[in-house]
Each structure stands twice: as C-alpha cells, then as structure tokens.
Amino acid sequence: MIRTLAFEKYRSLADVTVDLHPLTVVTGANGSGKSTLYRGMRLMTDIIRDGALTSLAWEGGMRNALHAGRRRTGPVALRLGVAVDELNYAIELGLPQLSPFPLDPEVKVETLWHGTHPRPSTILAQRRNQAVSLRSDTGSLDVSGWRPRIEESMIATLTDPTVSPELYALREQARSWQFYDALRVDLHAPARQPSPATFSPCLTPDGGNFAAALATVLRVGDTEALHTAVSRAFPQATVTVEEDDRGYAYLRWSTGLTRALDASEISDGTLRFLMLAVILLSPRPPKFLVLNEPEGSIHPSLLPAIADLILVGSRSTQILVVSHATALVDALGDDAHHIHLSHNGHDTHIEGQDRFSGTSWVWPTRA
C-alpha cells in the first residue's frame, strides 16, 4: 500500500506530504491545488514506471514545474517522494545544465531506502548525479558500474532484479497503478464502440475496451454489485452485453422501451456511470487506483450510487479520489480519510496539518 506522497517545490506544492489510507478523498475549492497534486502523482508514477522524465516536458519543462514562489537562495530543484509498504523513494530534479534538451530536467539525487528514515544503514540504492551506489550482498553500499543518463532516473537503467531487486520491485508495483482522468463520453468516444469480447479486467484509459471490460465484470466479476448499482441509479434499467458472430461485444441498455439501446445512444452521464462501475468492480483490480473528478457529467442524484461503488472497490484495492463534488465527498463519509486542500495565495496546504502534525516523511540529505 502507498503510505505517503511527498512534494517539495513542485508548482504550488512548496512543502506538502500526504498520508494515504485504503480509501482517501482529496477535496478543496477551485485553485486549491487538487489538479497539481494529481499531476504530481502522475509524474512520480511515470518516473518509477519508465525511468524517463519526458512527461515533465508536457508541463512546459522544468522551469514551469518549479514552485513559482521559491526563494532565490539554495538549490533550484524540486523533489518528489513516495513510501510504498516498507520502501521509500525520493528523487530531486534540477534545471538542465548539460542536457541538449532544454525541457528535460537533470536528476541530481535519487534514494531508495527501507524504513522511515534514510540513514546510511537503511539506504538500498542511491544516485548522485550519474554515480550510483547499491547495497551489496555483504551489506556494504558499493559504487555500481551502471551510469544512467543525466535526464533519466536510475530506474530506467537498473532493470535487473538480480542487481537491485528493491528497485525492480518498486517499478513492478507502480506498473499496476491505474489513473483515470476525464473519461471520454463524447459522441466519438472509443467507449461507444464495440470491442473484441476478450477477458479484460482493466478498463483502458481511453475506454476503448469498455464493452469487453463490462462483459468481464458481468461474467467473472461482482455481477450482483453491478446490478445493484445500476438498479439504484436507474430503477427501470438493466445492462447486458451481447456478442455478434465476429466475436465483438456490444452493450445493451434496457429501460422498458421497445428495444434496447447500444453504447452510441445512451447519455453521457449514463456511460460515465457504467465506466466507473467497470473500473471499481474489476475482478483483477490494480494495487492503487486514482479517480480524478469522477463526478464529471454525472447528475448529483447519482453521486451516492457512485460513492457506494467506490466503497465496494476499496475493499479490494487502495483508492484515491480527487473531487470537488460535495455530495460525493459527503456520501463517502467516515469510510474515507478526508484531505482538504487550501491555497493562501502562495502555497497549497492541507487544512489542519502543519509541519509538526503532519506525516513522518523525512527527505534524504543532499550532501
């Protein structure tokens, strides 16, 4: 389970650490930093999964990602950190000095350690500039022959589980994390098209395998929970999946009309509701699931049913919900750990948390 997320000098997150629970909901007013927190999580995940930092270029490069109110003294850098089970990982990114690509940051320091504090005895892998040290079988921290490029994480290079099993384990776990943001429900959305009827335990980010993923829930997943959610949200409706002679799956939505509707005919809100149901009732859920503003295009009357789906999903996977829908946040109630963000004109803060009452996260030293 992800225990903590940490950000320093990333956009409006000057110094923010977030403790995560089995179900966490992040809320706050517009401009409070919810989207920044979400983007920071995506950036961290991309770094751990792929090692490359190219996703930062889509934010305008390192200069745009740095905290706008940073002091001009001290290192010009941002830091990202995550605690997963007993492993902790932190990376420090600085402005490009040697890279021929001006939007790419340079990795200054990376550290992977065990336990809460990055002491010399707990560090498993450490990278300073291009020099990497790894914990050996004898227990010493030895300089490795591996030398990552300045614009890539050491995770991009150290992919051998026999060389650094802890780095490998962290990367493999991150590959199971799923993020869903702005599910497409427009007229030309991939989710409105049929898809090959194959076992599909995970909805793709673009929704292109929606019909197959829905069929998977109906045939090998929590069918009862799906039908209960649909009947609560749409009392007269039922959902099924049919296949044609080519093996393609089609949604069938029955509401008492003379014929059933297919995915191209149902409303945006209905389609989004069903996509969320497929995500949350997966028979093979990810280890970590993030839903960014799932309430989009959904009528407020349906949000309690969405909350019920989230609560069911949280029994089998860790979930983080980012939302500004009061009805959804209230419906999750005490079953979720609530984090309320606010912005004071300079920085994003977690309401009720200061540096003395926050998490136990400790950054590695820069020296």
pLDDT at 223 over 80: yes
pLDDT of residue 360: 78
Name residues whose C-beta falls within 8 Å of residue 134's C-beta, 6 or more positions apart in sequence: 124, 125, 141, 142, 144, 158, 163, 164
Residue type, 205: P
d(CA 243, CA 197): 7
pLDDT of residue 281: 97
pLDDT at 96 over 90: no
pLDDT category of residue 63 using cuts at 50, 70 and 90:
low
| Whole-number percent of the chain with pLDDT over 90 | 72
Retrieve residue 93's tokens.
């990114």
The C-alpha angle with vertex 311 and arms to 307 and 312, in degrees rounded to 5, equals: 120
For the ranges 56-65, 79-88, 208-217, 270-279, which has the lowest average pLDDT? 56-65
Whether 327 contacts 308, CB under 8 Å = no
pLDDT category of residue 158 using cuts at 50, 70 and 90:
confident
pLDDT of residue 254: 96
pLDDT at 69 over 60: no
pLDDT of residue 163: 84
Distances, alpha carbon 318 to alpha carbons 17, 84, 248, in Å: 18, 12, 32
Buried b (16+ CB within 10 A) or exposed e, 303-323: bebbbbbbbbbbebbbbbbbb
pLDDT of residue 361: 92
pLDDT category of residue 282 using cuts at 50, 70 and 90:
very high
Name residues whose C-beta falls within 8 Å of residue 304's C-beta, 6 or more positions apart in sequence: 232, 327, 331
Retrieve residue 102's tokens.
């001006």
Over residues 293-314, the pLDDT tens digits come to 999 989 999 999 999 999 999 9
Nearest to 313 by CA among 182, 222, 200, 191: 222
Section 98-125 average pLDDT: 85
d(CA 130, CA 108): 8
The C-alpha angle with vertex 153 and arms to 149 and 159, in degrees rounded to 5, equals: 100
pLDDT at 356 over 60: no
Distances, alpha carbon 120 to alpha carbons 112, 168, 360, in Å: 11, 21, 18
H-assigned helices in 175-325: 210-220, 223-233, 268-280, 303-313
- State which H helix or E strand residue 50 sits in: helix 34-50
> Mean pLDDT score of the chain, rounded to an integer?
90
Section 122-126 average pLDDT: 95
pLDDT at 33 over 60: yes
Radius of gyration (Cα) for the chain, nearest Å? 22
pLDDT at 256 over 70: yes
Section 56-71 average pLDDT: 66
Buried b (16+ CB within 10 A) or exposed e, 77-111: bbbbbbbbeebbbbbbbbbbeeeeeebbbbbbbbb
Name residues whose C-beta falls within 8 Å of residue 267's C-beta, 6 or more positions apart in sequence: none
Over residues 320-353, the pLDDT tens digits come to 999 999 999 999 999 999 999 999 988 999 998 8
| Whole-number percent of the chain with pLDDT over 70 | 90
- Domain range list for the chain: 2-177+341-350, 184-285
Residue type, 88: N
Section 161-170 average pLDDT: 89
pLDDT of residue 164: 87
